A and B are shown apart, each in its own frame.
Chain A
Amino acid sequence: LFLHFGTMNGHAILYTGVTVAFWSTLLIVGICYTIFDLGFRFDVAWFLTETSPFMWANLGIGLAISLSVVGAAWGIYITGSSIIGGGVKAPRIKTKNLVSIIFCEAVAIYGIIMAIVISNMAEVSYSMFGAGLTVGFSNLFCGICVGIVGSGAALADAQNASLFVKILIVEIFGSAIGLFGVIVAILQTSKVKMGD
């Protein structure tokens, strides 16, 4: 096992080290709890009820905006590098393909709108965490999806200008899934007032 370290680069050694440390800590703590018959003190319910709902709410708000931005950024970087690369040989594509960038940016805008809506709620509740998670993850994957499709659209457009409009339809479908996330998150937050 230690011989294998020689062939690994720095990242791999670091990650294996951290993973081993984490799992061995869990294992040793678990063994101690079991030996001393103190397993009853490992109480997930206690953790969930005692921690403040403010932490969960603020995590929800933070994740809403940050995961959406990650999705948007990832999409833009994928699309952007393709547009720039394709534009070297076919400069005519650059104006039309900005539409793909805008689709990716819309995902970030959904995220910030939801973050503002959630943070303005008067009643702090756990559903703020759920709504934040919903919109964050759906925007994350929507952004990546639109980015990859947009990259394909740019390169296809560079080869053959008539292909762009067809691929744009695929991109619109990809963008719709981000919108679904926003709608569901709004439903989750609105239930707070109605269901009380």
Chain B
Amino acid sequence: MAEKMILHPSSSTVVFAVLLNVFFTGTYGNQVPLILWSSGGSPIPEASPPAGHVVSSSQLSSLLASVLSSGPRAVVLFQQDKLSIDDFTVFGGVFGNEEDGAFPNLKSALQNSSGQLVLPSVSQLGSSRIVQLLQEQLRTTPLYLEPKNLAQLHLSASDPALLVVRLPYSGTDVSSSKDDLRANDGVIGRILDIMKAQAIPYTAIYTAHGPSQVIQEQSLDSQLVGRSLLQTNVYAPVQFNDSSNNACILFWANNFTVSVYQGKWEMTNLTTQTFAQTPKLDGSKCSDTDSRLSINYENVLGFKSFRVTFVMSQRDYKVSARKWFTLDQILLEYDNQNTTLNDTRDIYAPGEYSYHCESVNIFSSAPRTPSATQWMLTFGGFQIQGFSVTKGRFSYANDCASFFTPAIWMGLLTSLLMLLILTYGLHMIMQVCTMDRFDDPKGPTISVPQNE
């Protein structure tokens, strides 16, 4: 759906819907949205770019030229540190929860404006140079507004002016993002009220220096799924040898990250430290029934010493009459403290095989207090074998992905049941036949009495 330029005052929800309907691939790239509206003067001429098109700085400059030639030449530029379409999607109150939205002043300004221009994707180059572009168009020096200087603002209606308001926004901490956006929206509201009180027609622009990371942070597994085209870093597995120098534990992952929550989440990627060089495996041991793989790190997440231990065991299970190996728990030891991650029930395989899974996420148990330390280990392309390792290579990999997913099995079962019912019904109908037992074409026809 291509964006339409709105030539007449329309509801802000249409603008927000336009923003939402933008071609959104799930990665934020280097694009920043830009919203422009004018309070008085003639409507903004039609100049919307096609959907998904990233507006370059030269195109932005020509668009601004056409806007400023017909509209008011007093420009208020609200430049936030970071802004993305995601901020409007997540915090804009667009899914029916208008009261929760963080942009009430922006919405009412757009509603009451005489013309709007919405550019969902402006290249970061263009948006960071917007002050220079406006300076060239208006041929006036920009005036940087501080919130405390607002009361002393006096503008004349005829002269061109360029007011730049910097709105802080970090965008990294999800819990405070909404409040930051609300605060910025409050500043926008106050400045626009001042302009209205002084009866100055203005053109307002809301944009940012760079994109924020609202959705990118929250979906960690988007990094793990899919391969890059030039996959160069394929490392050898971590190998622990027993006393006769044969490999007895093997561990491999494409991607290994550890995250800790101590007030806020911090993440570190340990892939190169684990696989690119030989890691220290002090504390590991292996036997026929119990194996431990301990990988030691230094200076991880602010801890001087950090050790990850995979505790595995192999037992004989009588009911299935074979040996199974399980990853019982993962121990984390850091700076003389330790914690156990017990959420590894799904990691098991028959004793002779290895276990492989494309995405493994292990969390610590639910915290008793909100400020308790929480851990999360994330593996992409995880493979581990603790027993029966021969010739230093992984045995057949028992994959966590089954041939049919449970959902497919459910569909198959229900379809089979309905097919059986259909078959039986069809069979019954097809064996209904006309009674011909008493048919005797040569005999007398039956007589039906009229009354009893």
Residues of B within 8 A of A55 (CB): 410, 413-414
Q: Which of A47, A50, A59, A88 meets B448, CB within 8 Å?
A: A88
Q: How far is the CA of A68 from the CA of B163 in the complex (A)?
A: 77
Which residue of chain A has the shortest Cβ distance to B428 in the bound complex? A74
Name the residue of chain A whose CB is nearest to the CB of B449.
Answer: A89
Chain A residues in 8 Å Cβ range of B413: 51, 55
Looking at the complex, which one of A11, A52, A91 makes contact with B406 (CB distance below 8 Å)?
A52
**A residues near B431, Cβ cutoff 8 Å:** 11
> Chain B residues near A96 (CB, 8 Å)?
none
Does chain A have a CB within 8 A of B417?
Answer: yes
Determine whether the beta carbon of B452 is less than 8 Å from that of A92: yes
CB neighbours (8 Å) of A91 from chain B are 452
Q: A11-B430, A59-B417, A92-B452 are in contact. Are A51 and B406 (CB under 8 A)?
A: yes
For chain B, the bracket of interface size reads: 10 to 19
Report the minimal beta-carbon distance from B304 to chain A, rounded to whole angstroms.
43
Q: What is the CB-to-nearest-CB distance from B319 to chain A, in angstroms, rounded to a whole number?
A: 10
Q: A50-64: which residues lie under 8 A (CB-CB) from chain B?
A: 50-52, 55, 59
Chain B residues with CB under 8 Å of A59's CB are 414, 417
Q: List, in ascending order, chain A residues with CB within 8 A of B95's CB.
A: none
A157 to chain B, nearest CB (A): 13
Decide yes or no whether A41 CB sits under 8 A from chain B.
yes
Q: CA of A51 to CA of B413 in the docked complex: distance in angstroms?
A: 11
Return the CB mask of A136-159 against B: 1 if under 8 Å, else 0.
000000000000000000000000
Give every chain B residue within 8 A of A47 (Cβ-Cβ).
Answer: 406, 409
Q: Report whether A40 and B320 are in contact in the complex, using a CB–CB cutoff of 8 Å.
A: yes
A90 contacts the other chain (CB 8 A): yes
Interface range for A: 10 to 19
B409 and A51 within 8 A (CB): yes
Interface residues of B in 400-442 (CB under 8 A from A): 402-403, 406, 409-410, 413-414, 417, 421, 427, 430-431
A59–B403 alpha-carbon span in the complex (Å): 24
- B399 to A: closest C-beta gap in Å: 10
CA distance A41 to B414 in the complex (A): 22
The reply to whether the CB of B139 lies closer than 8 angstroms to some CB of chain A is no
B393 touches A (CB below 8 Å): no
Chain A: minimal CB distance from B435 (Å): 10
CA distance A59 to B320 in the complex (A): 31
Contact yes or no, A11 B427, CB < 8 A: yes
Q: In the complex, what's the smallest C-beta–C-beta distance from B207 to chain A, in angstroms?
A: 46
Q: Is the CB of A40 within 8 A of B452?
A: no
Contact A41 B452 (CB under 8 A): no
B318 CB, min distance to chain A CBs, angstroms: 14
Query: In the bound complex, how far is the Cα of B93 from the Cα of A186, in angstroms?
Result: 46
| Chain A nearest Cβ from B398, distance in angstroms | 8
B190 within 8 A of A: no
B322/A40 in contact, CB under 8 A: yes
Alpha-carbon gap, A12 to B410, bound state (A): 30
Chain B, residue nearest A63 (CB): B417
A41 to B449, CA, bound (A): 72
CB-nearest residue of chain B to A11: B430
Complex Cα distance, B402 from A90, in Å, reads 66
Contact B410 A52 (CB under 8 A): yes
A residues near B409, Cβ cutoff 8 Å: 47, 50-51
Is B350 located at the chain interface by the 8 A CB criterion?
yes
- Shortest beta-carbon distance, A121 to chain B, in Å? 20
In angstroms, Cα B446 to Cα A88, docked, is 11
Could you say which residues of chain A place their CB within 8 Å of the CB of B448? 88
Assess the A41–B402 pair: CB atoms within 8 A. Answer: yes
- Do A51 and B410 have beta carbons less than 8 Å apart? yes
Q: Digitize B305-320: 1 where CB-to-A-CB distance is under 8 Å, 0 elsewhere.
A: 0000000000000001
Nearest chain B residue, comparing its CB with the CB of A9: B430
- How many Å from the CB of B329 to the closest CB on chain A? 22
What's the minimum C-beta distance from A124 to chain B, rounded to whole angstroms? 14
Query: In the bound complex, what is the Cα–Cα distance between A89 and B403 (angstroms)?
Result: 64
Task: Give the residues in chain B near A90, CB-CB below 8 Å.
Answer: 452
Whether B406 and A40, one on each chain, are in contact in the complex, defined by CB atoms closer than 8 angstroms, is no
Complexed CA–CA distance, A59 and B427 (Å): 23
Q: How far is the CA of A159 from the CA of B357 in the complex (A)?
A: 76
Residues of B within 8 A of A46 (CB): 402
Residue-by-residue, is A85-110 near B (CB-CB < 8 Å gives 1, otherwise 0)? 00011111000000000000000000
Contacting B at CB under 8 A, from A1-44, are 11, 40-41
- Which residues of chain A have C-beta atoms less than 8 A from B403's C-beta? 41
Q: Which residues of B contact A88 (CB under 8 A)?
A: 448
Given A11-B430, A91-B452, A92-B452, residue A50 in contact with residue B406 (CB < 8 A): yes
Complex: A92 Cα to B451 Cα, angstroms: 10
A50 to B430, CA, bound (A): 39
Select from chain B the residue with minimum beta-carbon distance to A46: B402
Give CA–CA (A160, B369) in the complex, Å.
84
CA of A88 to CA of B452, assembled, Å: 10
Q: How far is the CA of A161 from the CA of B217 in the complex (A)?
A: 84
Smallest Cβ-Cβ distance to B324: which chain A residue: A40
A51: chain B residues at CB < 8 Å are 406, 409-410, 413
Identify 17 new A-B residue pairs, CB closer than 8 A, beyond the known A46-B402, A55-B410. Answer: A11-B427, A11-B430, A40-B350, A41-B398, A41-B403, A47-B406, A50-B409, A51-B406, A51-B409, A52-B410, A55-B413, A59-B414, A59-B417, A66-B421, A89-B449, A90-B452, A92-B452
Identify 13 residue pairs between A and B in the complex whose beta-carbon atoms are under 8 Å apart, listed by A's number.
Answer: A11-B431, A40-B320, A40-B350, A46-B402, A47-B409, A50-B409, A51-B410, A51-B413, A52-B406, A55-B413, A59-B417, A66-B421, A90-B452
Q: Which 8 A-B pairs have the closest CB atoms?
A: A50-B406, A55-B410, A51-B410, A51-B406, A40-B350, A91-B452, A92-B452, A47-B409
